[in-house]
Amino acid sequence: MDKKILSLVILITMVVILTLGLISWQIGFAVKENAGDEKDTKGNLRLISQTNNLDNENVATAGKIILNPIDESINNGGGGSRRSGGGSSSSDESTNTGGNTNPNPTPEPEKPSVEIFISPAASNHAKGNEFIIEVNISTLEKIYAVEFSLNFNPKILEIIEVGEGGFLKQDDASTSLKICEQGFKELCPIINNTSGLVKVSNTRLGATTGVSGQGSLVEIKFKAKNSGSSDLILDEIKIADTSLEIDKFNIEKNNGEVIIV
């Protein structure tokens, strides 16, 4: 009986020992597995971080391609080069300058000046008298033809006649002065004492060049009708050179005034 009990105790002890050993082995395996998971987790984290960095670089690169497609094509063999340091390409400069390949375009040359003025600029006359006002020109350019209109107060003044000045007749050239009554063909200048307007055109004939300097274009004889003042206003001025171009000059005009007492 005692031998049976002893054998049973030994058997139970062996079972306990085996059980404890199995439990210990399982615990050790679990610890190793957790450590391996932690390593894998760290490795995955590193992989994820690297992937995110690559994604960020790809996004940046993609953004660059979207924002600067021309620049990227140039850098990939399109024949252009990126400026060092600035990070911007010639395509960027072209975009920033509105497509203008020359950021400093040459300014247009200033037009030469021609002055047209009333002489005398101011004068006083008695009612009933007749007097002459000149329309003069001053220029360094070669002038071939001139056209203008002159406005005045018809209640104060009345035009008697218009005569040609000597400016365009230089070098004994022939000229064509036109002064017509209102109602003729459209190109014909007019005198209108009702509305207070005279329109004159004059050109050289047969001459190969224009003339320069200072002189009288026309002489206008007025009659003082009533007391008061009248401005003499130059308008619709057209000046041409030998090529008959009328937009080549910067025209400066100086009006006049007449006082009738």
- CA 141 from chain centre, in angstroms, equals 30
Task: Say what the pLDDT of residue 55 is.
Answer: 46
- In degrees and rounded to multiples of 5, residue 83 shows phi and psi of -70, 135
The sign of the torsion formed by the CA atoms of 95, 101, 107, 109 equals: negative
Task: Say what the pLDDT of residue 34 is.
Answer: 58
160 SS3 class: strand
Domain boundaries, the chain: 2-96, 114-260
157 and 232 Cβ atoms separated by less than 8 Å? no
Task: Say what the pLDDT of residue 249 is.
Answer: 92
229 and 156 Cβ atoms separated by less than 8 Å? yes
Task: Say what the pLDDT of residue 1 is.
Answer: 53
Task: Say what the pLDDT of residue 80 is.
Answer: 42
CATH no., domain 114-260: 2.60.40.680
Low-confidence ranges of the chain (pLDDT < 70): 1-3, 24-102, 179-189
Q: Rounded to two decimals, what is the model's pTM? A: 0.57
Task: Say what the pLDDT of residue 100 is.
Answer: 56
Task: Say what the pLDDT of residue 11 is.
Answer: 77
pLDDT tens digits along 237-260: 999 998 888 888 999 999 999 999
pLDDT tens digits along 52-104: 444 444 434 433 333 333 344 434 444 443 444 444 444 444 445 455 566 77
> Helices marked H in 68-111 — which ranges?
69-73, 90-96
Task: Say what the pLDDT of residue 207 is.
Answer: 74
Task: Say what the pLDDT of residue 105 is.
Answer: 74
Q: Can you tell me the distance from the alpha carbon of 115 to that of 109, in angstroms, rounded to the nearest whole number? A: 19
Task: Return the structure tokens found at 182.
Answer: 């209102």
The vertex-163 CA angle with 160 and 169, nearest 5°, equals 175
Task: Say what the pLDDT of residue 245 is.
Answer: 81
The vertex-146 CA angle with 172 and 153, nearest 5°, equals 120
- In degrees and rounded to multiples of 5, residue 140 shows phi and psi of -95, -5
Q: Can you tell me the distance from the alpha carbon of 43 to that of 172, in angstroms, rounded to the nearest whole number? A: 105
